[in-house]
Homo-oligomer: A and B are copies of this chain.
Protein backbone atom coordinates (compact mmCIF):
# COMPACT_ATOMS: atom_id res chain seq x y z
CA UNK A 1 0.00 0.00 0.00
CA UNK A 2 1.21 3.45 -0.89
CA UNK A 3 2.63 5.80 1.67
CA UNK A 4 0.14 8.51 2.72
CA UNK A 5 1.40 12.08 2.90
CA UNK A 6 -0.74 14.85 4.36
CA UNK A 7 0.23 18.42 3.47
CA UNK A 8 -1.38 21.70 4.47
CA UNK A 9 -0.86 24.97 2.59
CA UNK A 10 -1.75 28.23 4.30
CA UNK A 11 -3.38 31.32 2.84
CA UNK A 12 -0.11 32.99 1.82
CA UNK A 13 1.05 29.85 0.01
CA UNK A 14 -2.10 29.85 -2.15
CA UNK A 15 -2.48 33.64 -2.22
CA UNK A 16 -2.49 34.06 -6.02
CA UNK A 17 -3.01 31.99 -9.18
CA UNK A 18 0.78 31.86 -9.63
CA UNK A 19 1.33 30.61 -6.12
CA UNK A 20 -1.38 28.00 -6.52
CA UNK A 21 0.42 26.77 -9.64
CA UNK A 22 3.67 26.61 -7.66
CA UNK A 23 2.01 24.58 -4.94
CA UNK A 24 0.59 22.25 -7.60
CA UNK A 25 4.11 21.73 -8.93
CA UNK A 26 5.33 20.73 -5.49
CA UNK A 27 2.43 18.33 -4.96
CA UNK A 28 3.07 16.77 -8.37
CA UNK A 29 6.57 15.70 -7.30
CA UNK A 30 5.23 13.83 -4.25
CA UNK A 31 2.49 12.26 -6.35
CA UNK A 32 4.96 11.08 -8.99
CA UNK A 33 7.07 9.40 -6.32
CA UNK A 34 4.12 7.06 -5.83
CA UNK A 35 2.74 8.54 -2.62
CA UNK A 36 -0.92 8.96 -1.82
CA UNK A 37 -1.11 12.71 -1.31
CA UNK A 38 -3.86 14.42 0.72
CA UNK A 39 -3.69 18.20 0.69
CA UNK A 40 -5.52 20.61 3.00
CA UNK A 41 -5.75 24.26 1.95
CA UNK A 42 -6.75 27.52 3.56
CA UNK A 43 -8.54 30.41 1.89
CA UNK A 44 -6.45 32.51 -0.51
CA UNK A 45 -4.57 35.41 1.06
CA UNK A 46 -6.93 37.90 2.65
CA UNK A 47 -10.16 36.23 1.49
CA UNK A 48 -11.39 35.51 5.01
CA UNK A 49 -10.82 39.12 6.09
CA UNK A 50 -12.66 40.34 3.00
CA UNK A 51 -15.64 38.10 3.76
CA UNK A 52 -15.69 39.36 7.35
CA UNK A 53 -15.71 42.94 6.04
CA UNK A 54 -18.59 42.10 3.71
CA UNK A 55 -20.62 40.70 6.61
CA UNK A 56 -19.75 43.77 8.64
CA UNK A 57 -21.41 45.94 5.99
CA UNK A 58 -24.62 43.94 6.47
CA UNK A 59 -24.77 43.72 10.26
CA UNK A 60 -22.63 44.37 13.32
CA UNK A 61 -23.96 41.23 14.93
CA UNK A 62 -23.99 38.36 12.43
CA UNK A 63 -25.44 35.03 13.61
CA UNK A 64 -22.57 32.56 13.93
CA UNK A 65 -24.26 29.87 11.85
CA UNK A 66 -24.47 32.25 8.89
CA UNK A 67 -20.94 33.53 9.46
CA UNK A 68 -19.66 29.96 9.13
CA UNK A 69 -21.77 29.48 5.99
CA UNK A 70 -20.08 32.61 4.61
CA UNK A 71 -16.48 32.00 5.66
CA UNK A 72 -16.37 28.37 4.53
CA UNK A 73 -16.62 29.55 0.91
CA UNK A 74 -13.03 30.87 1.06
CA UNK A 75 -11.52 27.40 1.36
CA UNK A 76 -13.94 26.00 -1.21
CA UNK A 77 -12.56 28.44 -3.79
CA UNK A 78 -8.98 27.38 -2.98
CA UNK A 79 -9.58 23.64 -3.28
CA UNK A 80 -11.29 24.01 -6.66
CA UNK A 81 -8.48 26.18 -8.04
CA UNK A 82 -5.75 23.89 -6.72
CA UNK A 83 -7.47 20.85 -8.27
CA UNK A 84 -7.63 22.71 -11.60
CA UNK A 85 -3.94 23.59 -11.37
CA UNK A 86 -3.06 19.93 -10.79
CA UNK A 87 -5.13 18.74 -13.77
CA UNK A 88 -3.38 21.41 -15.82
CA UNK A 89 -0.08 19.67 -14.92
CA UNK A 90 -1.55 16.32 -15.88
CA UNK A 91 -2.13 15.18 -12.29
CA UNK A 92 -5.62 13.80 -11.54
CA UNK A 93 -7.10 15.57 -8.51
CA UNK A 94 -10.41 15.78 -6.69
CA UNK A 95 -11.44 18.46 -4.25
CA UNK A 96 -13.75 17.88 -1.29
CA UNK A 97 -15.56 20.18 1.11
CA UNK A 98 -15.72 19.37 4.82
CA UNK A 99 -19.26 18.19 4.22
CA UNK A 100 -18.26 15.79 1.46
CA UNK A 101 -15.68 13.94 3.57
CA UNK A 102 -17.96 14.02 6.62
CA UNK A 103 -15.62 16.08 8.77
CA UNK A 104 -18.05 15.93 11.69
CA UNK A 105 -17.74 18.55 14.43
CA UNK A 106 -19.76 19.66 17.42
CA UNK A 107 -22.29 22.43 16.78
CA UNK A 108 -20.19 25.21 18.27
CA UNK A 109 -20.26 27.59 15.29
CA UNK A 110 -17.08 29.63 14.63
CA UNK A 111 -15.06 27.51 17.04
CA UNK A 112 -16.16 23.93 16.43
CA UNK A 113 -14.24 20.85 17.56
CA UNK A 114 -13.66 17.90 15.23
CA UNK A 115 -15.36 14.68 16.35
CA UNK A 116 -14.52 12.41 13.45
CA UNK A 117 -13.80 12.01 9.76
CA UNK A 118 -15.08 9.38 7.34
CA UNK A 119 -12.04 8.19 5.42
CA UNK A 120 -13.93 6.06 2.90
CA UNK A 121 -14.44 8.76 0.30
CA UNK A 122 -10.82 9.91 0.60
CA UNK A 123 -9.57 6.34 0.20
CA UNK A 124 -11.76 5.80 -2.86
CA UNK A 125 -10.42 8.93 -4.55
CA UNK A 126 -6.82 8.06 -3.66
CA UNK A 127 -7.22 4.54 -5.01
CA UNK A 128 -8.46 6.00 -8.30
CA UNK A 129 -5.07 7.72 -8.53
CA UNK A 130 -6.17 11.19 -7.49
CA UNK A 131 -4.50 13.74 -5.33
CA UNK A 132 -7.17 14.49 -2.72
CA UNK A 133 -7.67 18.14 -1.85
CA UNK A 134 -9.67 18.98 1.25
CA UNK A 135 -11.04 22.33 2.37
CA UNK A 136 -9.48 23.18 5.71
CA UNK A 137 -11.11 25.10 8.57
CA UNK A 138 -14.57 23.64 7.95
CA UNK A 139 -16.79 20.75 8.95
CA UNK A 140 -20.44 19.95 9.48
CA UNK A 141 -22.35 19.22 12.64
CA UNK A 142 -24.70 16.27 13.13
CA UNK A 143 -27.45 18.17 11.27
CA UNK A 144 -25.21 19.04 8.30
CA UNK A 145 -24.93 22.68 9.28
CA UNK A 146 -21.59 24.06 8.12
CA UNK A 147 -19.21 24.84 10.99
CA UNK A 148 -15.75 26.39 11.13
CA UNK A 149 -12.90 25.55 13.48
CA UNK A 150 -11.72 29.07 14.33
CA UNK A 151 -8.87 31.10 12.86
CA UNK A 152 -5.99 28.89 11.84
CA UNK A 153 -8.27 25.86 11.94
CA UNK A 154 -6.89 24.43 8.69
CA UNK A 155 -3.86 23.22 10.66
CA UNK A 156 -6.22 21.23 12.83
CA UNK A 157 -8.06 19.83 9.79
CA UNK A 158 -4.72 18.62 8.42
CA UNK A 159 -3.51 16.98 11.62
CA UNK A 160 -6.91 15.33 12.12
CA UNK A 161 -6.70 13.85 8.61
CA UNK A 162 -3.12 12.69 9.22
CA UNK A 163 -4.31 10.96 12.41
CA UNK A 164 -7.33 9.30 10.76
CA UNK A 165 -5.33 8.21 7.69
CA UNK A 166 -2.43 6.93 9.77
CA UNK A 167 0.10 9.25 8.12
CA UNK A 168 3.41 9.34 9.95
CA UNK A 169 3.85 13.04 9.40
CA UNK A 170 1.72 16.07 8.66
CA UNK A 171 3.52 18.77 6.68
CA UNK A 172 2.34 22.30 7.42
CA UNK A 173 3.54 24.64 4.67
CA UNK A 174 3.60 28.29 5.62
CA UNK A 175 5.43 31.52 4.87
CA UNK A 176 8.13 30.96 7.52
CA UNK A 177 10.54 28.09 7.30
CA UNK A 178 10.13 26.70 10.78
CA UNK A 179 9.85 27.50 14.47
CA UNK A 180 12.46 29.92 15.75
CA UNK A 181 13.96 30.51 19.16
CA UNK A 182 12.50 34.03 18.96
CA UNK A 183 10.89 36.33 16.40
CA UNK A 184 13.76 37.02 13.95
CA UNK A 185 12.41 40.54 13.38
CA UNK A 186 13.06 41.27 17.07
CA UNK A 187 16.06 39.02 17.70
CA UNK A 188 18.41 38.97 14.68
CA UNK A 189 20.36 36.14 16.32
CA UNK A 190 17.31 33.85 16.49
CA UNK A 191 17.85 30.37 15.07
CA UNK A 192 15.55 27.69 13.72
CA UNK A 193 14.75 24.57 15.73
CA UNK A 194 15.10 21.27 13.92
CA UNK A 195 12.85 19.71 16.57
CA UNK A 196 10.61 20.97 19.33
CA UNK A 197 8.08 19.25 21.63
CA UNK A 198 4.31 19.58 21.39
CA UNK A 199 4.25 21.14 24.88
CA UNK A 200 6.74 23.83 23.93
CA UNK A 201 4.90 24.50 20.69
CA UNK A 202 1.64 24.93 22.63
CA UNK A 203 3.17 27.47 24.95
CA UNK A 204 4.85 29.29 22.09
CA UNK A 205 1.63 29.35 20.03
CA UNK A 206 -0.46 30.69 22.89
CA UNK A 207 2.19 33.32 23.47
CA UNK A 208 1.63 34.71 20.03
CA UNK A 209 4.43 33.04 18.09
CA UNK A 210 1.40 31.92 16.13
CA UNK A 211 2.81 29.48 13.61
CA UNK A 212 0.38 26.67 14.41
CA UNK A 213 -3.22 26.51 15.57
CA UNK A 214 -3.10 25.30 19.19
CA UNK A 215 -5.66 22.57 18.73
CA UNK A 216 -3.63 21.10 15.88
CA UNK A 217 -0.71 20.68 18.27
CA UNK A 218 -2.93 19.05 20.91
CA UNK A 219 -4.29 16.68 18.26
CA UNK A 220 -0.78 15.87 17.08
CA UNK A 221 0.23 15.13 20.66
CA UNK A 222 -2.83 12.96 21.34
CA UNK A 223 -2.49 10.92 18.14
CA UNK A 224 1.30 10.97 17.92
CA UNK A 225 1.39 12.69 14.54
CA UNK A 226 4.69 14.40 13.80
CA UNK A 227 3.99 17.95 12.56
CA UNK A 228 6.53 19.31 10.13
CA UNK A 229 6.39 23.11 9.90
CA UNK A 230 8.13 24.29 6.72
CA UNK A 231 8.13 26.90 3.99
CA UNK A 232 6.22 26.58 0.73
CA UNK A 233 8.71 28.93 -0.93
CA UNK A 234 11.78 26.67 -0.68
CA UNK A 235 12.75 23.03 -0.13
CA UNK A 236 14.55 23.43 3.19
CA UNK A 237 13.60 21.08 5.98
CA UNK A 238 11.63 22.95 8.64
CA UNK A 239 10.91 22.18 12.29
CA UNK A 240 9.53 18.85 13.48
CA UNK A 241 7.07 19.05 16.35
CA UNK A 242 7.40 15.75 18.20
CA UNK A 243 6.90 13.89 21.44
CA UNK A 244 9.19 14.72 24.33
CA UNK A 245 10.69 11.23 24.32
CA UNK A 246 11.98 11.69 20.77
CA UNK A 247 14.19 14.59 21.78
CA UNK A 248 17.53 13.55 23.26
CA UNK A 249 18.80 16.73 24.75
CA UNK A 250 16.10 18.93 26.15
CA UNK A 251 16.81 22.64 26.08
CA UNK A 252 16.16 24.54 29.29
CA UNK A 253 14.72 27.30 27.17
CA UNK A 254 13.69 26.76 23.57
CA UNK A 255 11.89 29.99 22.82
CA UNK A 256 11.60 33.56 24.01
CA UNK A 257 8.58 35.69 23.18
CA UNK A 258 7.11 39.10 23.85
CA UNK A 259 3.40 39.84 23.75
CA UNK A 260 2.53 43.50 23.38
CA UNK A 261 -1.21 43.47 22.88
CA UNK A 262 -2.11 43.18 26.58
CA UNK A 263 -3.02 45.73 29.26
CA UNK A 264 -2.42 45.25 32.97
CA UNK A 265 -5.23 45.90 35.42
CA UNK A 266 -4.67 46.29 39.14
CA UNK A 267 -7.40 46.37 41.76
CA UNK A 268 -6.19 47.15 45.30
CA UNK A 269 -7.98 46.76 48.62
CA UNK A 270 -10.05 43.74 47.63
CA UNK A 271 -11.46 42.04 50.77
CA UNK A 272 -9.78 38.71 51.50
CA UNK A 273 -12.95 36.63 51.14
CA UNK A 274 -13.16 33.22 49.45
CA UNK A 275 -14.76 33.20 46.01
CA UNK A 276 -14.23 36.83 45.07
CA UNK A 277 -11.66 36.03 42.38
CA UNK A 278 -14.06 33.47 40.94
CA UNK A 279 -16.77 36.13 40.70
CA UNK A 280 -14.50 38.63 38.96
CA UNK A 281 -12.94 36.26 36.45
CA UNK A 282 -16.25 34.50 35.87
CA UNK A 283 -17.84 37.81 34.87
CA UNK A 284 -14.95 38.54 32.49
CA UNK A 285 -15.04 35.11 30.88
CA UNK A 286 -18.80 35.34 30.37
CA UNK A 287 -17.99 38.23 28.00
CA UNK A 288 -15.35 36.08 26.23
CA UNK A 289 -12.54 38.20 27.65
CA UNK A 290 -9.43 36.07 27.90
CA UNK A 291 -7.41 36.84 31.03
CA UNK A 292 -3.74 35.93 30.73
CA UNK A 293 -1.30 36.47 33.62
CA UNK A 294 -2.99 36.66 37.04
CA UNK A 295 -1.16 37.58 40.24
CA UNK A 296 -2.70 38.01 43.66
CA UNK A 297 -0.65 39.36 46.53
CA UNK A 298 -0.72 37.75 49.97
CA UNK A 299 -3.39 39.41 52.08
CA UNK A 300 -2.41 42.33 54.31
CA UNK A 301 -4.87 43.69 56.88
CA UNK A 302 -7.53 41.43 55.37
CA UNK A 303 -7.12 43.06 51.96
CA UNK A 304 -5.60 41.80 48.70
CA UNK A 305 -4.27 43.34 45.53
CA UNK A 306 -5.27 41.52 42.35
CA UNK A 307 -3.40 42.17 39.09
CA UNK A 308 -4.03 40.57 35.73
CA UNK A 309 -3.72 41.19 32.01
CA UNK A 310 -6.43 41.31 29.34
CA UNK A 311 -6.17 42.05 25.60
CA UNK A 312 -6.22 45.80 25.00
CA UNK A 313 -9.01 45.36 22.44
CA UNK A 314 -11.28 44.06 25.22
CA UNK A 315 -10.70 46.95 27.64
CA UNK A 316 -13.87 48.81 26.66
CA UNK A 317 -15.96 45.75 27.46
CA UNK A 318 -13.98 44.89 30.60
CA UNK A 319 -14.15 48.32 32.30
CA UNK A 320 -17.81 48.36 33.39
CA UNK A 321 -17.37 44.84 34.85
CA UNK A 322 -14.27 45.90 36.78
CA UNK A 323 -15.84 49.08 38.12
CA UNK A 324 -18.97 47.40 39.31
CA UNK A 325 -16.80 44.76 41.03
CA UNK A 326 -14.71 47.41 42.77
CA UNK A 327 -17.77 49.35 43.86
CA UNK A 328 -19.61 46.35 45.23
CA UNK A 329 -16.55 45.11 47.19
CA UNK A 330 -15.39 48.47 48.47
CA UNK A 331 -12.08 48.03 46.65
CA UNK A 332 -10.00 50.74 45.01
CA UNK A 333 -10.83 51.91 41.51
CA UNK A 334 -9.15 49.66 38.87
CA UNK A 335 -5.85 51.00 37.54
CA UNK A 336 -4.98 50.33 33.94
CA UNK A 337 -1.58 50.25 32.31
CA UNK A 338 -1.46 49.70 28.56
CA UNK A 339 2.29 50.21 28.22
CA UNK A 340 3.31 46.71 29.19
CA UNK A 341 4.78 43.64 27.56
CA UNK A 342 4.64 40.01 28.67
CA UNK A 343 8.06 38.48 28.10
CA UNK A 344 8.22 34.70 28.37
CA UNK A 345 10.78 31.92 28.24
CA UNK A 346 9.51 28.45 27.30
CA UNK A 347 11.38 25.16 27.55
CA UNK A 348 10.62 21.52 28.24
CA UNK A 349 14.01 21.27 29.97
CA UNK A 350 12.81 23.54 32.78
CA UNK A 351 11.08 20.52 34.27
CA UNK A 352 14.43 19.02 35.16
CA UNK A 353 16.63 22.09 35.47
CA UNK A 354 16.46 24.29 38.51
CA UNK A 355 17.33 27.96 38.59
CA UNK A 356 15.90 28.90 35.21
CA UNK A 357 13.65 31.57 36.73
CA UNK A 358 16.48 33.04 38.72
CA UNK A 359 18.66 33.16 35.59
CA UNK A 360 15.88 35.03 33.75
CA UNK A 361 15.35 37.55 36.56
CA UNK A 362 19.11 38.14 36.74
CA UNK A 363 19.26 38.79 33.00
CA UNK A 364 16.52 41.42 33.29
CA UNK A 365 18.19 42.98 36.32
CA UNK A 366 21.45 43.32 34.42
CA UNK A 367 19.56 45.49 31.92
CA UNK A 368 17.91 47.36 34.82
CA UNK A 369 14.47 46.28 33.66
CA UNK A 370 11.85 46.34 36.42
CA UNK A 371 9.63 43.26 36.69
CA UNK A 372 6.03 44.21 37.47
CA UNK A 373 4.43 40.75 37.61
CA UNK A 374 5.72 37.18 37.49
CA UNK A 375 3.87 34.02 36.55
CA UNK A 376 5.34 30.56 36.17
CA UNK A 377 4.16 27.19 34.93
CA UNK A 378 5.93 23.87 34.49
CA UNK A 379 7.61 24.84 31.22
CA UNK A 380 7.13 28.62 31.06
CA UNK A 381 8.18 31.72 32.95
CA UNK A 382 6.44 35.00 32.14
CA UNK A 383 7.35 38.49 33.35
CA UNK A 384 5.31 41.62 32.84
CA UNK A 385 7.69 44.51 32.14
CA UNK A 386 7.38 48.04 30.74
CA UNK A 387 6.62 47.86 27.03
CA UNK A 388 9.55 50.14 26.22
CA UNK A 389 12.04 47.46 27.35
CA UNK A 390 10.49 44.52 25.50
CA UNK A 391 13.04 44.20 22.69
CA UNK A 392 16.02 44.59 24.98
CA UNK A 393 14.57 41.99 27.34
CA UNK A 394 13.90 39.39 24.65
CA UNK A 395 17.38 39.75 23.17
CA UNK A 396 19.03 39.56 26.58
CA UNK A 397 17.09 36.45 27.67
CA UNK A 398 17.73 34.81 24.29
CA UNK A 399 21.45 35.36 24.73
CA UNK A 400 21.44 34.30 28.40
CA UNK A 401 20.08 30.86 27.57
CA UNK A 402 22.56 30.30 24.78
CA UNK A 403 20.02 30.39 21.95
CA UNK A 404 21.78 32.88 19.72
CA UNK A 405 23.43 31.67 16.54
CA UNK A 406 27.18 31.18 17.01
CA UNK A 407 26.41 32.15 20.61
Contacts and interface: CB of A to CB of B under 8 A. Distances in A.
Interface in A45-96: 51, 54-55, 57-59, 61-63, 65-67, 69-70, 72-73, 76-77, 79-81, 83-85, 87-88, 93-95
A interface: dominant SS: helix
A228 interface: no
A63 B87 CA distance: 7
A347 B298 CA distance: 93
B70 A73 contact: no
A88 B73 contact: no
Interface residues of A, number: 38
A20 B59 CA distance: 11
A100 interface: yes
Contacts of A54: 17, 77, 81
A81 B95 contact: no
A58 B21 contact: yes
A391 interface: no
Contacts of A144: 99-100
Contacts of A20: 58
Interface in A352-406: none
Given A58-B21, A58-B88, A88-B61, A83 B66 contact: yes
Contact of A65 (B51, B81, B94): B94
Contacts of A146: 97
A92 to B, nearest CB: 9
A144 B94 CA distance: 13
Contacts of A17: 54, 57-58
B84 A77 contact: no
A95 B62 CA distance: 13
Interface of A: 17, 20-21, 51, 54-55, 57-59, 61-63, 65-67, 69-70, 72-73, 76-77, 79-81, 83-85, 87-88, 93-95, 97, 99-100, 144-146
18 contacts: A17-B54, A17-B57, A17-B58, A51-B77, A54-B81, A55-B84, A58-B85, A58-B88, A59-B84, A59-B88, A63-B83, A63-B84, A63-B87, A66-B80, A69-B79, A69-B97, A70-B77, A100-B144
